[in-house]
Structure 1
Amino acid sequence: MTQTELPKRTEPVRSVAIIGGGASGAIALDSLIKEGVFDKITVFERRDVLGGVWHLDENPDQLSVPPGAPESELDPPLEVPVQLLDDADIRSVNAPRSSQQRYIHTASFDGMRTNIPERIMTYSDDPHWEFLDRPGKDTFTSVKAVSRYIETYLARHPEHVVLRTTVEDISKDFNKPNSQYKLVLRTETDQKDENGDLIDKWWTESYDAVILANGHYHVPYITPVPGIDEVFKEFPGVITHAKTFRDHNVYKDKRVIVVGARASAIDIYRLISPITKEVYSSRRSPNLFVADPDGPNNQIKPVIDRYEVYEEDGKKSFRVVFEDGSVVTNPDEVIYGTGFRFSFPFLKRLIPDFSIGNIIPLAYQHTFYIPDPTLALVGVPIDGLSFRVFEYQAVLVARFFAGNAVLPPEEVQRQWTEERFSRFGNTRQYHSIGVDAALPYYDDLITIGGGVDPIGKPGSRPFPVLSVTDIETLKAERERLRKFFNDTSIQK
């Protein structure tokens, strides 16, 4: 899109589509409903279960993720039946199900826990998990408790949720201010054609506004370094991504390298370290977190410099060479906890550059698509207080769609994104809202939204208010994280 301002909508928003039935979709739905002005609100969840990334898939697809492969290569859009594109009058058509990998399984694993205190991670009107898995020790809980929490929250409005339905394409004439978004949807059925192939129903529906709440922990990314492609090809199953990690017991007596130092890499390292023969934690800073190894064969390593494949006694082998020159030869597995890439295949026709690697460059306050803010996002900020951050976003979006909040001029919004990019570039820190940044971010959204108190009809949702105890918990959490990561600049 160019920087030429598009005509803005003059008619009220009456219908909203929400893409994703996870934590951000749940709070977006409840916030919109409580505004009391929308005629149609629909959550489209592509799976047959709710919970988003917190749902535990016991048997996920075993992914083959080529190192350095971009999301455009791994997760391209499906070919939409031509009958449903653009101005076609046909509203539905049946077609055989595609076998393309869609990365629907989550990265959750048994033993995964929350890492933010209960009272500041949950939604403000439901501040308790179903249970704490270590009561008396902390207020964290298991992945299963969080998944049930989201399911229960969405169960408030079951008539607004459509399962097994993927948004495959979105189109809109941006030059017409009141035009709607046309969604091409694909609903999985259990029907089969004459060849025994499963059939999907493709259909269309239009909405005044769209909320992207589909998250960003789906398409994995493995950092490329010299030689890794050859190892990936010659030694299948050795180079893996943390997304498919499930059972730590399979690593008993194995030699493993875990790459990365964010949450998933830390969790995996600590789960497997007591039972592996050797485990190496490779990360940029040797002091990034206190590893507290449980055995003599656990070692901290710098980043991987290169891989080298060689032949010895007629058999191919490989070595992993780290930046300090140290070497690990023929590890059983190298697990990359190096994150994910944004992927919005359904927007590729409409906005090809909507996301670029680690960032959504035109998302004002991580929430509104600047050229047309009737396309909004909830759930983009990372490293923060999770559901509570999403709640602030959802309240603001609901107020804006209802006509009860006004965004600043487009030039101000673009300046915000330019300053953000100047500071963080195309890195995961661009969308990071950590503990220290949370309070000013909340204040910014409240200011844009017209204040804490409800503005619309009776029953509309206020912004959450942090109590003295909440703020004290925030400060304590900041210190806990700094100690855990051994990094005093964690949220500067």
Structure 2
Amino acid sequence: MSAAALKPKRVLVIGGGPTGLVALRNLIERGQFEHVELVERRDDIGGVWYLDNPAHSTDSESPRWPSPAYPGLVGNVLPEFLSFSQYPFPEPPSAPNQPFPTLTETHDYLHSFAEPYVKSGVIRLSTDVVRVEELVDGRWKASLRDWSTSGKGKEVEETWDAVVVAVGWYDNPVWPQTHGLEELKSKGLAKHAKWWRGPRGHEGKRVLVVGNANSSNDMAAQLAPLADTPVYQSIRREAFHSFVSLSDERISMVAPVAKYILKSTTDGDKFDVTLTDGKELKDFDTVWIGTGYKPHPNFIHVLDPSDKIKSKHVSLTAESTSHTRVPWLHRFILYAYNPSLAFIGAPMVYTPFTIADLVSTWLSLAWRGEIAYPDTAEGRLVFEKERIDFIDKWRAEMDNPSSLMVFSVLGPDEEEYGRALKAEIVDARPELKNILTEWSEERTKLRETTYPLKYKALVWTRDQQSKH
């Protein structure tokens, strides 16, 4: 390990959600690079927390990238774990009974945080990154489309010394490989949670929900008062304790789906399902799939690492990428073959706001040469190899490993990961010790109190609604 000499002057951040915004702040204020800009393809910042601009014309020439959020969404993370360093999240007005910020409250927080950067012009909205291509000299060519009112989709090219990719996973929904599902999708009977906007329109309908993480639990709970009951929820295993939900006699938990059978009736297209336990369920109108997303930033094109003459580009990620990951990253951050490309938010974590704050601070100091990292591609690839070996061994020890026991989900490793990064940051900048979040067993225990608090908040909300 040696201190890097990269020290880029011009840095581009892609993505105006929480991870991109805090990366922008840290690169400007802690990295103090010559010029840093952030581009966001939508017409406002916030990422998943920006639902949509209701004034956005549906016949606009500008493409739309709707958030997978939905009206009435309430988060599952307490304000303490949503707070960027030196910018605490305000207490929600419904605390202590409902201490979890809503979609609107979270977007307001991000808006307030981003305001000085919007005013200074270092955030460009309505700017879509079409392609990022590695140059032979190690820099990056970015092809952008300007979808502002004046730009009207004009494409421009820019060259940057370094690029930070801070985009979410939500462009890439995961669909189960279940017999008959593709036919249902083609008929509009199967929909992914990415497109859930609430239960309206499902009155009296017979509905199946697949999955039992947060999105599936929310969909089932919202459908129960309106849809034909029971609402069926197909699950493979009991939910992790972090996916908190209330029991509801109107929701029936059933086995995984083995097969979907499309059929035509006098009431239009419907479908039956056969479950893996042999049970058959009849006459469904819709199935909502809540099986998550995967990282796949396919707009990144790198020089083929196996091409010694550096003449051919390849997509950094592909549908066939094993272990469902952004490949070749040192510590989920630096692209091993050219560390002037970095990722913020590559792994799924319990506390994405605080991890992004930590990671982007580490990155700022690493690019300044204040934090050491391996000075060869081979050295930077060791992290990925060890991580893959660990995941393979872990899954082999389980009879029915969870879909969350994968390379790109930090899970129980988050504390160790955060502690190690912070130690390196503090070694370089001791003044950040009490500014950045602490990573310790005590903090993990505090985070674990989130789940019983969420359950109590759900009960309180249900009781409040029953009064009206």
Please indicate the TM-score interval, normalised by the length of the shorter structure: 0.7 to 0.9
The alignment-based identity, stated in percent, is 23
Cα deviation, 1:45-102, whole Å, max 9, x if unaligned, reads 11111101111137799xxxxxxxxxxxxxxxxxxxxxxxxxxxxxxxxxxx988xx7
* Structure 1 gap ranges (5+): 1-7, 62-96, 192-197, 485-492
| Residue identity in the other structure for 1:22 | G
Distance of aligned partners of 1:341 and 1:474 in 2 relative to their CA distance in 1, 3 Å threshold: closer
Distance of aligned partners of 1:325 and 1:481 in 2 relative to their CA distance in 1, 3 Å threshold: farther
Cα deviation, 1:168-223, whole Å, max 9, x if unaligned, reads 1122234x3xx4211111101436xxxxxx94221111111100011112232321
Alpha carbons 1:57, 1:108 under 8 Å: kept: no
The answer to whether residue 414 in structure 2 is matched with residue 438 in structure 1 is yes
In structure 2, the residue matched to 1:251 is 202
Once residues 277 and 366 of structure 2 are traced to their aligned partners in structure 1, the CA distance between those partners, rounded to angstroms, is 53
5 Å-filtered alignment, 1:7-406, equals 10=5, 12-35=7-30, 37-57=32-52, 104-129=65-90, 132=92, 134-158=94-118, 159-174=121-136, 176=137, 179-190=138-149, 199-233=152-186, 236-278=187-229, 279-286=231-238, 292-295=246-249, 297-310=250-263, 317-348=270-301, 350-354=313-317, 356=321, 358-406=324-372
Offset of residue 315 of structure 1: 7.8
Q: Secondary structure at the match of 2:71?
A: coil
Alpha carbons 2:165, 2:343 under 8 Å: kept: yes
Distance of aligned partners of 1:424 and 1:464 in 2 relative to their CA distance in 1, 3 Å threshold: same
| Residue identity in the other structure for 1:294 | D
Offset of residue 466 of structure 1: 5.2
TM-score after normalising by structure 1: 0.77
How many residue pairs get matched? 423
Distance of aligned partners of 1:462 and 1:401 in 2 relative to their CA distance in 1, 3 Å threshold: farther
Once residues 293 and 64 of structure 2 are traced to their aligned partners in structure 1, the CA distance between those partners, rounded to angstroms, is 11
Distance of aligned partners of 1:108 and 1:283 in 2 relative to their CA distance in 1, 3 Å threshold: same
| Residue identity in the other structure for 2:421 | L
Distance of aligned partners of 1:202 and 1:482 in 2 relative to their CA distance in 1, 3 Å threshold: same
Alpha carbons 2:213, 2:239 under 8 Å: kept: no
Cα deviation, 1:254-311, whole Å, max 9, x if unaligned, reads 211111122211111122223321211111114656754433x420012111112356
Offset of residue 12 of structure 1: 2.7
Distance of aligned partners of 1:478 and 1:374 in 2 relative to their CA distance in 1, 3 Å threshold: farther
The answer to whether residue 391 in structure 2 is matched with residue 418 in structure 1 is no
Offset of residue 11 of structure 1: 5.4
Offset of residue 417 of structure 1: 0.9
Q: Secondary structure at the match of 2:315?
A: coil
Q: Secondary structure at the match of 1:219?
A: coil
Alpha carbons 1:14, 1:37 under 8 Å: kept: no
Distance of aligned partners of 1:404 and 1:416 in 2 relative to their CA distance in 1, 3 Å threshold: same
Q: Secondary structure at the match of 2:201?
A: helix
Distance of aligned partners of 1:287 and 1:469 in 2 relative to their CA distance in 1, 3 Å threshold: closer
Once residues 317 and 28 of structure 1 are traced to their aligned partners in structure 2, the CA distance between those partners, rounded to angstroms, is 47
Q: Secondary structure at the match of 1:438?
A: helix
Q: Secondary structure at the match of 1:345?
A: coil
TM-score after normalising by structure 2: 0.81
Once residues 321 and 369 of structure 1 are traced to their aligned partners in structure 2, the CA distance between those partners, rounded to angstroms, is 44
Once residues 379 and 422 of structure 2 are traced to their aligned partners in structure 1, the CA distance between those partners, rounded to angstroms, is 17
Moved more, 422-431 or 150-159: 422-431
Distance of aligned partners of 1:353 and 1:442 in 2 relative to their CA distance in 1, 3 Å threshold: same
Distance of aligned partners of 1:452 and 1:56 in 2 relative to their CA distance in 1, 3 Å threshold: farther
Moved more, 318-327 or 404-413: 404-413
Offset of residue 30 of structure 1: 0.7
Moved over 6 A (4+): 58-61, 311-316, 478-484
| Residue identity in the other structure for 1:141 | P
Once residues 287 and 483 of structure 1 are traced to their aligned partners in structure 2, the CA distance between those partners, rounded to angstroms, is 18
Once residues 326 and 225 of structure 1 are traced to their aligned partners in structure 2, the CA distance between those partners, rounded to angstroms, is 16
Alpha carbons 2:61, 2:152 under 8 Å: kept: no
Alpha carbons 2:42, 2:64 under 8 Å: kept: no
Alpha carbons 1:225, 1:304 under 8 Å: kept: yes
Once residues 20 and 263 of structure 1 are traced to their aligned partners in structure 2, the CA distance between those partners, rounded to angstroms, is 24
